Amino acid sequence: MRNLLILGAGTAGTIMANRLLPALDSEEWQITIVDQDEKHYYQPGFLFIPFGIYSRQDVIKPKRDYLPAGINVVMSKIEIIEPEKNQIKLADGKLIPYDILIIATGSRVHPDETEGMKEDGWFKNIFDFYTIEGATALANFLKYWEGGKMVLNITEMPIKCPVAPLEFVFLADWWFTEQGIRDKVEITFATPLPGAFTKPKASKLLGNFLDNKNIKLVPEFGIERVDSSANKIISFDDKELDYDLLVTIPTNMGDELIERSDMGDELNFIPTDPNTLQSKDHENIFVIGDATDLPSSKAGSVAHFQSEVLDKNILRFIDKRPLLPHFDGHANCFIESGFDKGILIDFNYDVEPLPGKFPLPGVGPFSLLEETKANHWGKMMFRWVYWNLLLKGAEMPIQAQMNMAGKRR
Amino acid sequence: MAEVTVDAKTFALDEDGFLADQNDWNEEFAKAIAKEEGIDELTEGHWNVINYMRSDYADKGAVPTIRRLKKAGGIPTKDLYALFPDGPAKKAARISGLPKPKGCV
């Protein structure tokens, strides 16, 4: 019996377990998945919690409900990966050997990477919304806030779901309007990037959105520290921004397990072949989702597109066939823009988000880089798609590779 | 394709205004681009960053990030901002003759 071991039962790991179980001969292969948390979080939903649109119950379900019967589920912390010995060691010292390893340990936020961030102001007037704790604490704060200076700050790139910070300020503009206090709130978007987003066309368009919504953009702001006694953030080049409410996107890093195993870069992301998803250092190790060091978005849609390439490559690896270099960096994101509207972007390693139409059999087409009601409904519908289709590894009507149909240069 | 001429030598630039072929780079190019970026004189501190960036790029095939310059290169971020004000990663990469850093999307 040979062992295929998956580390992490989040979006990417769960999809892989569901796709590989029917593809592998159960007489020959045992699939094991290891995770330390029984709860599966629908992370795209965290964005809506501060505004009371979703509650905790909407975004949490038991992981085991989404893992297929027939695989071995181990709930434990992992001490270390030992690639030279083809085994991992759990926190209690137990060893699990593998023939093939898939690492899907994701990324998480590290507010402690920034001086002063996690001191007196933390969860008092400084919040993140990338954790369930931060998102719910922020919801409680916003419920009673009477207005003032709200600063959203991205600490450093890369971050999970790079459009979420923009969505947050768009939604905040809408929400404060609904509460009747928009005139009492000054919204600032401070980013280390030169504009609202990285890719030129989308950056310009999204920058216009910020303008129209009266949200101030502060580009090239590299945060050095937080002074929570004076309520200001200070950049490395001594620029200062005052806040009454600081919404931070802290440094995102891969799991500490990767650091303990000495397998990652400075941010604990694992060097990965950008097209085959094989680890650069070990041929029987594959990496998927946020855990990679790839310049693709760290997002669920990307993990899904990767899974359609990785399942084939795992089978080819078993059959000693050359791997297919078919992952193209494809990402597809609905951007919530407030007032029941949304924007859709679709792009890959080489093609930036372009305007046009996005054909989707049955429900589409959706408009690209354009604000519409249909895009908002696409986004809201996606939670159902996530729990019922995506996690289960079902075939989706969107190709893994990006398609130029409908796009305008 | 855009180009820049320094001391009678012509350097081809890519669509982002970065050196098209890393092998073309020389110190005169660095000085000229630095001036264009508002840095009149390249000091020892600047050269330390440029040399590290070039050797790390040759080694790893990727333009080092600010965090990598700090952690692996031992260059404090504060110093980096003082040396290359307003967007140090991009500015230093351009002067060092490397491609535009991949702002991860």
Number of H helices and number of E strands within chain B?
A: 5, 2
Residues 6 or more apart in contact with residue A383 via CB below 8 angstroms? A42, A44, A45, A58
Q: Nearest-CA residue of chain A relative to B105?
A: A297
Q: Kindly state whether B61 is in contact with chain A, defined as any CB-CB distance less than 8 angstroms.
A: no
Give the residue numbers spanning the domain of B89.
3-95
Q: What are all long-range contacts of A374-382, with beta carbons under 8 Å and residues at least 24 apart?
A: A374/A342, A375/A334, A375/A335, A375/A341, A375/A342, A375/A343, A375/A344, A376/A334, A376/A336, A376/A337, A376/A340, A376/A341, A376/A342, A377/A342, A378/A334, A378/A342, A378/A344, A379/A334, A379/A336, A379/A342, A382/A44, A382/A334
Q: Residue B102 domain-assigned?
A: no
Give A103's strand partners.
A7, A287
Residue B104, pLDDT above cutoff 50: no
Q: How confident is the model at residue A197 (pLDDT cuts 50, 70, 90)?
A: confident
C-alpha to C-alpha distances, B71 to A95, A108, A344, A346, A375, nearest whole angstrom: 32, 19, 37, 34, 42
Q: Kindly state whether A237 is in contact with chain B, defined as any CB-CB distance less than 8 angstroms.
A: yes
Q: Kindly state whether B65 is in contact with chain A, defined as any CB-CB distance less than 8 angstroms.
A: yes
Top CATH class of A110-251 equals alpha beta
Mean of the per-residue pLDDT values of chain A = 95
Per-residue confidence (pLDDT) for residue B97, from 0 to 100: 96
Q: Residue B89 domain-assigned?
A: yes
Q: Regarding beta strands A2-7 and A29-35, do their DSSP bridges make them parallel or antiparallel, or are they unpaired?
A: parallel
C-alpha to C-alpha distances, A207 to A162, A201, A212, B105, nearest whole angstrom: 14, 10, 9, 16
Read off the pLDDT of each residue in A92-108 and give the average, rounded to a whole number: 98
Residues 6 or more apart in contact with residue A360 via CB below 8 angstroms? A366, A397, A398
Active-site positions of B?
104
Q: How confident is the model at residue B103 (pLDDT cuts 50, 70, 90)?
A: low
Out of A139-153, A171-185, A391-405, B16-30, pick the least confident.
A391-405
C-alpha to C-alpha distances, B81 to A9, A301, B95, nearest whole angstrom: 40, 35, 15
Q: Kindly state whether B87 is in contact with chain A, defined as any CB-CB distance less than 8 angstroms.
A: yes
Helices (H), chain B: 27-36, 44-60, 66-71, 77-83, 88-95
Q: Residue B27 domain-assigned?
A: yes
CB-count burial class (<10 Å; 0-12, 13-18, 19+) for A229 = exposed
Q: Kindly state whether B100 is in contact with chain A, defined as any CB-CB distance less than 8 angstroms.
A: no
* Total residue count of chain B as it appears in this document: 105
Hey, which residues 364-403 in chain A have their CB within 8 Å of chain B? none
Q: Kindly state whether A62 is in contact with chain B, defined as any CB-CB distance less than 8 angstroms.
A: no
* Residue of A113, A197, A199, A220 to mutate, testing the B interface (most B Cβ within 10 Å of its Cβ): A220
Residues 6 or more apart in contact with residue A393 via CB below 8 angstroms? A15, A16, A18, A19, A307
Q: Do A266 and B104 touch (CB under 8 A)?
A: no
Residues 6 or more apart in contact with residue B63 via CB below 8 angstroms? B53, B57, B89, B93, B98, B99, B100, B101, B102
Structure tokens at A56: 């905790």
Residues 6 or more apart in contact with residue A213 via CB below 8 angstroms? A169, A170, A173, A187, A338
Q: Nearest-CA residue of chain B relative to A199?
A: B105
B82 interaction partners in chain A (CB closer than 8 Å): 237
A197 interaction partners in chain B (CB closer than 8 Å): 105
Residue A366 contacts residue A360 (beta carbons within 8 Å) = yes
- DSSP structural state of residue A236: T
A157 interaction partners in chain B (CB closer than 8 Å): 103-104
Domain tally, chain B: 1
Residue A257 contacts residue A75 (beta carbons within 8 Å) = no
Q: Nearest-CA residue of chain B relative to A113?
A: B67
Out of A58-67, A133-142, A191-200, pick the least confident.
A191-200
Q: Do B78 and A236 touch (CB under 8 A)?
A: yes
| SS3 at position A339 | coil
Measured at the alpha carbon of residue B61, what is the angle toward residues A353 and A204, in degrees to the nearest 5? 20
Residue B87, pLDDT above cutoff 60: yes
Measured at the alpha carbon of residue A44, what is the angle toward residues A307 and A189, in degrees to the nearest 5? 120
Residue A272 contacts residue A279 (beta carbons within 8 Å) = yes
Type of residue found at A85: K
Read off the pLDDT of each residue in A34-55 and give the average, rounded to a whole number: 96
A222 interaction partners in chain B (CB closer than 8 Å): 66, 77, 81, 88
Residue A208 contacts residue A371 (beta carbons within 8 Å) = no
Q: Residue B76 domain-assigned?
A: yes
Q: What tens digit of pLDDT does each residue of A362-405 get?
A: 777 889 988 999 999 988 888 999 999 999 988 877 888 998 88
Distance CA A216, CA A254 (A): 31
Q: Nearest-CA residue of chain B relative to A224?
A: B78
When the candidates are 3.50.50.60, 3.40.50.1100, 3.40.50.450, 3.30.70.2500, the CATH number that belongs to A2-106+255-318 is 3.50.50.60
Q: Residue B104 domain-assigned?
A: no
Q: Do B87 and A194 touch (CB under 8 A)?
A: yes
Residue A327 contacts residue A276 (beta carbons within 8 Å) = yes
Read off the pLDDT of each residue in A254-276 and give the average, rounded to a whole number: 97
Residue A280, pLDDT above cutoff 80: yes
Structure tokens at A142: 């916003």
Read off the pLDDT of each residue in A175-196 and give the average, rounded to a whole number: 96
ipTM for the whole predicted complex goes beyond 0.85: no
Residue B105, pLDDT above cutoff 50: no
Q: Do B77 and A197 touch (CB under 8 A)?
A: no
Please, where in chain A does CATH 3.50.50.60 lie?
Answer: 2-106+255-318, 110-251
Phi then psi for residue A276, to 5 deg, are -100, -20
